[in-house]
Amino acid sequence: MDKMISEPETSGGVRAPSFLLADEDRKWTAALSELLSGRGFLVEVANDGFTALELAKNTFDAVLLGSFVSKVESDTIIRCLRDREKPLEARIFLLSSDPHCINPYITSMSDAVIAKAPPGDTFSLVVKAWERCVNEGAIPSGEGLLVCREGWEPRADSKKVEALKRRLSCVYGALPGMVFEIDNSGKVVYANDKALETLRRRISGVIGLQINECLELPEESRLDRALNSARLNPAFPPLEFPFELRGRIYKVLITALPVMEDAHDIILTMTDATERYIARRDFLRSNLELEQLFQGSGGAICVIDNDCVITRVNENFVELIGYPRQEMIGAKCFNIFPGPDCDTGLCSIDMARKGKVAKNREVVRKNYRKDDVVCLLTTSPLHHSDGKFAGIIKDFRDITDRKKEIALAEAKSVSEHLSHAFSGIRHEIGNQVNSSKMAINVLRNNLASFDEATVKEYLERALGELSRAENLFRSLKSFGTFEVTRPKKGNLRSFLTDFGQTLKEECKSKDIAFTLGMEEEVKSCNFDSRGLTQVLSNLYSNSLGALAKREAPRIELKATAGKDEVIITFSDNGGGVCGIEEKNLFKPFFSTKTGVPGLGLAISRKLMASMNGTIDLISSEGEGVTVRLKLPRE
């Protein structure tokens, strides 16, 4: 094969050298084919790239490839020939009108680059290139062998065309996705390296295939329909859409590329956008979930930016305020839902900027009718990705109707309590007054006949009843003593330690065991020292009566810390109370003991309420009483 080909040898069974001649210039290829055939060479001619690739499956000594071949570019044909599983052993000579403008990568894959000339001159240059290849060995590297006829000058137009082709090839190669050029018949005429890598194919296994066969697509796929529309319509506009292929999502871009006045190719770009589409899908799904939560929330929610501008509201907020949604979006919040705290230090935006948020804070706002709306307000700050303050989310819970119901219930309760109190006062004072009146009347009517001892007895009886009335009035005075308390944050541990020491001494004098216990977390809370002293003193007074004649009497005072409150437990091991009595213990003038006004627990409940605390009692008859006091930590 490496012998000289200037004259073929046909004697002795030696096969004449064979040529594959490929170029779109039919007249030139016919003339060169006739010249070669006349000299005894075997020649096959291809005027398009697909035919050349099909014929190249046979064995040839040399391939003469023109730089312009229809349907498939000559550089792609060379890549296919060199990149086959069974590489082509023939010499590849690239014929170009301007050899200096051919891509160096393609030049390095050919045996020689020959200046395209008339058939006779071309044959002489091929013989010269063949001889140089034989003498210099295998396929040269770098720029390859350049063989030009004397007096040859490059054509300016071919130089521009080749430069444009090189730039286009570089652009296709630099794109991140797969790039295919498809002719009007649907065959692939170009594929970049990314496409070959993704499909795991050689260039020779892609060029000439139908694009559906190349991508293993069904004929009725969305991509197939789009490509058919592009092939049938020369003025087809660029089309972009997502497409799933082999478990990945690609962004597809289809563009018509004019080739001649009456023909065009299709450039198909497929960029792997799986992660982006998954992120977008998750983002849209999250937005949908947030929107459902936003609209399905039981509260009236609005989003306000750093400039107090409303940017978003849910349906509950529209219903609460009464303004149309379009009027609220973009408006200042203090113009839409004003309140007395808007121009004060309690403004939600100002508080959020300082890192403070509201949690079920009772506020009053005015709706579109200028009616007062009482709400529980909870706020949450919003921040940009860089951590800067962006605004807040306001969640309003309308409690206007609830407040009215509570006010009515409280008025009813007050009325009932007043009725009960007046009834108790009337009963207690009436009994004492009647008893005193009766004793004095008897004494007046029998003063002359009674001896001194009897007179003294009746006077003592009258004075006793008056003393009971005096104690009653003193209790009523005590009930109003702590009408106003001033709770503030104080050291509860120190207070209980001091009170416990005093109580311990009192219990010791009465042979009552006393214990004081406090958790380490109990330190401070909001309370009024005078009010809490009165409450604990009332509980101690009640326990003294319950522990009378009790074996091993015991009183225990404990304090534990909760999340938002401190719990003080006061318990004894007295006789306890039954269920019926327990329901009435906090009513004024109710008492289980005779001669007692029954105001101690009523006063204690009033004092605890004034300190934003609560009091409840747990008891079983014969098992003592446990009273729990709860005070807020903040």
- Which range of 2-6, 134-138, 309-313 scores highest in mean pLDDT? It is 309-313
Average pLDDT on 389-393 reads 90
Is the pLDDT at 610 greater than 80? The verdict is yes
For position 157, what pLDDT does the model report? 47
- Return residue ranges of the chain for CATH 3.30.565.10: 488-632
CATH 1.10.1060.10 corresponds to the domain 488-632: no
Please name the residue that has the structure tokens 């004397």.
150
Fold of 11-154: Rossmann fold (3.40.50)
Q: Closest Cα partner for 400 from 296, 300, 323, 332?
A: 300
For position 558, what pLDDT does the model report? 92
* 59 in Cβ contact with 86 (< 8 Å): no
**Alpha-carbon span 220 to 478, nearest angstrom:** 93
The arrangement of secondary structure in 404-481, i.e. its CATH architecture, is Orthogonal Bundle (1.10)
- The more confident residue out of 156 and 394 is 394
Fold of 299-398: Beta-Lactamase (3.30.450)
Percent of the chain past pLDDT 90, that is, above it, reads 3
For position 580, what pLDDT does the model report? 47
- Which range of 68-77, 154-163, 388-397 scores highest in mean pLDDT? It is 388-397
Residue range 416-463, pLDDT digits in tens: 655 665 666 666 666 767 777 787 887 788 877 888 888 788 788 777
Average pLDDT on 163-188 reads 72
- Return residue ranges of the chain for CATH 3.30.450.20: 175-277, 299-398
CA atoms within 13 A on the CB side of 147: 24
Full DSSP string of 184-236: TTSBEEEE-HHHHHHHT--GGGTTTSBHHHHHT--TTSHHHHHHHHHHH-TTP
- Return residue ranges of the chain for CATH 3.40.50.2300: 11-154
For position 309, what pLDDT does the model report? 92
Fold of 175-277: Beta-Lactamase (3.30.450)
What residues contact residue 519 under an 8 Å CB cut-off, 6+ apart? 559, 560, 561
Confidence bin at 274 (pLDDT 50/70/90): confident
- The more confident residue out of 16 and 249 is 249
The length of the chain in residues reads 634
- Return residue ranges of the chain for CATH 1.10.287.130: 404-481
Strand ranges across the sheet with 18-22? 42-46, 18-22, 62-66, 91-96, 112-115, 145-147
For position 255, what pLDDT does the model report? 82
For position 417, what pLDDT does the model report? 59
CA atoms within 13 A on the CB side of 99: 22
